[in-house]
Amino acid sequence: MSTTEPAPAESGAAAAGTTEPAPAESAAPAASGAAAAGEKKLRPGRTNATKQRLFEASMELIGERGAAGVTVDEIAAAAGVSKGTVYYNFGSKSDLIAQLLRHGVDIMLVRLQDVRGKANDPLESMNNMVGQAMEFMDDYPSFARLWVSEIWRTPGEWSAVFAELRAELLAVIGSAVESVASGYKVNESIARGSLEAAIFGAIFVVGLDRQTYNPERTREQSVAAVMTIMHGYVIK
Amino acid sequence: MSTTEPAPAESGAAAAGTTEPAPAESAAPAASGAAAAGEKKLRPGRTNATKQRLFEASMELIGERGAAGVTVDEIAAAAGVSKGTVYYNFGSKSDLIAQLLRHGVDIMLVRLQDVRGKANDPLESMNNMVGQAMEFMDDYPSFARLWVSEIWRTPGEWSAVFAELRAELLAVIGSAVESVASGYKVNESIARGSLEAAIFGAIFVVGLDRQTYNPERTREQSVAAVMTIMHGYVIK
DNA sequence: CTAACTAAACTGACCAGTCAGTTCAAATAG
DNA sequence: CTATTTGAACTGACTGGTCAGTTTAGTTAG
């Protein structure tokens, strides 16, 4: 058989995450603490570690210079592997980025889930969630940049991926807003969907803006600015 | 020196807009109605018209596929001019984009200035401004995409341009917020800068989000969602 | 008359994707 | 316990193509 037929990965980013039934933990370098426990008995050994390094390297480079502005050679070099390895683990540059997007969203979702129900008051819960999201922005600024620079490209290469990931994230925000709406009297004339989009967008933009143009501002200030939306939503 | 030194343009994007002391009108294809009247007596003749078409073509293409994803040949073809003309009018692709950014911001600033003081109530004035901005998003969706996809690239090619343009836009929003703050009792614990960033960001994100994922939502809904920020800022 | 523009060819760099070959850890055989 | 085999993981030179920017000789229009 001449063709080596290598591709053992080919995950496709469909429903669940990685091959293993343990979708979480994968890549949070400084997760909260309650992550998984066993990680030594990973049979496939190298591959996961390699993918991990490729994710980290890509996240950094692509966040800085954009998906189209980074070459596969650069990513490979930054990850300390050869170009071939990138194509062994991912079918194409485009596929690498698609999986990178899912990877980042998975991390963010885990974090947001972590603060759910930690507070009794829905508004306080919302505040914690925004804080957590803002922290994520600080930890993965490059992911945020990649996100905002590609998500609105009309029929872009990753439209389908973005549509799905966006829906997953908005669902989390939506349920938090829902809690507020059932615990407080709110302005019903505001369309729920637009409100969620505004919150979500404000988180990203305020976070990026602070990092890029006003690093002296505190995370609390940013959270407060975003939470202003919620305070305008509830009727006092 | 062998270099032909063609560049008659080379505006540089400093203080005022175009060469002529009439900064307005330049490019609104379907402005409100009170636009300029005479356009035949343009002294520099063709150049302005050509630049105009290049701006329009670039805005469209770059908004769709990103600055790095569009070739100069494509832009020239879309504008109906030759590639040489692009380099005659602009020194480089990068310069074209820098001037394109200023051009777009100039249009937006003119529109925002148009609604200033049209209302007596600061909050209503703010509402009009957000509505105007949202209309701009509808008219120039590609500009908005270009903006969000490039403005947060750390030391990117147009960092300096963005810093200046961002400041100009934020100043307009800031003065509107200022009016609200002097006409109403507001929550002083919210940092003004973060608030402005949140408003500005929400406008872009809500606008783009509606166009891309929820075209059925009305502009009024989007405006209302953004204005929720202001309603949370004032103390009732 | 000349600034603005055209058309087409050219250059030099850069880059996504390929593929024949190498490494090495674990499985199997002796 | 050592020798051999297997194949997943990885390597890096190479290919075919693309693209920003240049140049030149000629055309158009104010």
* Residue of chain A nearest B226, judged by CA positions: A198
Do residues B67 and B146 touch, judged by C-beta distance below 8 A?
A: yes
Do residues A223 and B223 touch, judged by C-beta distance below 8 A?
A: no
**pLDDT digit string, tens, across residues B67-104:** 999 999 999 999 999 999 999 999 999 999 999 999 99
Q: What is the mean pLDDT of residues B182-194?
A: 96
Phi/psi of residue B222, nearest 5 degrees: -65, -45
Smallest Cα–Cα separation from A232: which of B122, B185, B225, B127? B225
Q: Which nucleotide is nearest to B71 (CA to C1')?
A: D19
Read off the pLDDT band of A76 (50, 70, 90): very high
Residues of A in Cβ contact (< 8 Å) with B190: 221, 224-225, 228
A98 CA from C20 C1′ (Å): 29
Residue A42 pLDDT exceeds 60 = no
Residue A153 pLDDT exceeds 80 = yes
Residue B234 CB partners (closer than 8 Å, separation 6+): B123, B180, B184, B185, B186, B187
Do residues B19 and B44 touch, judged by C-beta distance below 8 A?
A: yes
What is the per-residue DSSP string for B37-74? ---TT-TTTHHHHHHHHHHHHHHHHHHHH-GGGS-HHH
A50 CA from C19 C1′ (Å): 21
**pLDDT digit string, tens, across residues B8-34:** 433 333 323 333 322 223 333 332 322
Task: Among A152, A209, A221, select the one facing B208 at the smallest CB separation.
Answer: A152
Do residues A22 and A110 touch, judged by C-beta distance below 8 A?
A: no
**pLDDT digit string, tens, across residues B131-173:** 999 999 999 999 999 999 999 998 889 999 999 999 999 999 9
Using alpha carbons only, give the angle B157, B162, B164 rounded to the nearest 5 degrees.
130
pLDDT value at position A47? Answer: 63
Phi/psi of residue B50, nearest 5 degrees: -65, -45
E strand or H helix that includes residue B196: helix B192-213
Residue percentage of chain A with pLDDT more than 70: 80
How is residue B48 written in tokens?
């302005």
Percent composition of chain A: helix, strand, coil (DSSP 3-state, to 5): 65, 0, 35
Interface check A148 vs B, CB under 8 A: yes
The reply to whether A10 has its C-beta less than 7 Å from any atom of strand C is no
The reply to whether B46 has its C-beta less than 7 Å from any atom of strand C is yes
CB pairs under 8 A between A and B: 166
Furthest-apart CA atoms within chain A: distance in Å: 73
B82 CA from C7 C1′ (Å): 8
**Beta carbons within 10 angstroms of residue A218's beta carbon:** 11
List bases, strand D, within 7 Å of protein CB.
8-14, 18-25, 29-30
**Beta carbons within 10 angstroms of residue B144's beta carbon:** 24
Smallest Cα–Cα separation from B118: which of B127, B108, B109? B127
- The helices-and-strands tally (H runs, E runs) of chain B is 9, 0
The reply to whether B50 has its C-beta less than 7 Å from any atom of strand C is yes
User: Which residues are bridge partners to A186 per DSSP?
Assistant: A234
pLDDT value at position B218? Answer: 96
* Residue of chain A nearest B63, judged by CA positions: A153
**Beta carbons within 10 angstroms of residue B56's beta carbon:** 18
Domains of chain B, CATH where assigned: 41-91 (1.10.10.60), 102-233 (1.10.357.10)
Using alpha carbons only, give the angle B86, B92, B96 rounded to the nearest 5 degrees.
70
Interface check A210 vs B, CB under 8 A: yes
Residue percentage of chain B with pLDDT more than 90: 76
Do residues A10 and A47 touch, judged by C-beta distance below 8 A?
A: no
**pLDDT digit string, tens, across residues A203-235:** 999 999 999 999 999 999 999 999 999 999 999
List bases, strand C, within 7 Å of protein CB.
3-9, 14-21, 25-26
Interface check A49 vs B, CB under 8 A: no
